[in-house]
Amino acid sequence: MSQTHAQKIIHVASDHAGFEHKVEIVKWLQELGHQVVDHGAKVMDKEDDFPDFISLAAMAVSEKPDSSCGIIFGGSGQGEAMVANRFAGVRATVYYGGNLQIISLSREHNDANILSIGARFVSIEETKDSIATWLAASMLTDQKYQRRNQKIEHITRRIRTQ
């Protein structure tokens, strides 16, 4: 199995809609002994724009995908994941509640390296549970999952050269 995210630098970011979740989760992750880099927002500002902060976290993960991962927060998590997925090597998945198995599968099958949380839909405790599940999971070594992820990376490279 590959390295779990629990051993990596965790890049976090949010806009105003995810700000309170981010503040709580950064503190919680640090208390657990994780190395966390907070890319903002640093203050609550209802007029801020999520791409400004999410892009910083996604860029950091893109630059060092083997030694880092990301957790990003927004209202739905959808727009945040869209921004993150623009960066080479980033595979952001969205969680806004429900069965935690989907979180494990995002790592095991798709090697997701950024978790985007829909803060308007999950409590802090649900967020902690989802993050703990995601950090503990790792990519499965089955050839079919490796092959599929290689195809995703091939598509990314092909698009970037057009």
Would strands 68-74 and 9-14 be described as parallel, antiparallel, or unpaired?
A: parallel
Question: Which has the closest alpha carbon to 116: 149, 76, 87, 88?
Answer: 76
Of the residues 80, 108, 126, 154, which is catalytic? 80
Of the residues 24, 34, 109, 126, which is catalytic? 109
Active site residue 80: yes
Question: Which has the closest alpha carbon to 87: 147, 7, 159, 140?
Answer: 159
CA dist 23 and 148 (Å) reads 35
Active site residue 109: yes
Residues in the chain: 162
Question: Which has the closest alpha carbon to 32: 124, 120, 135, 115?
Answer: 135
Catalytic residues: 80, 109
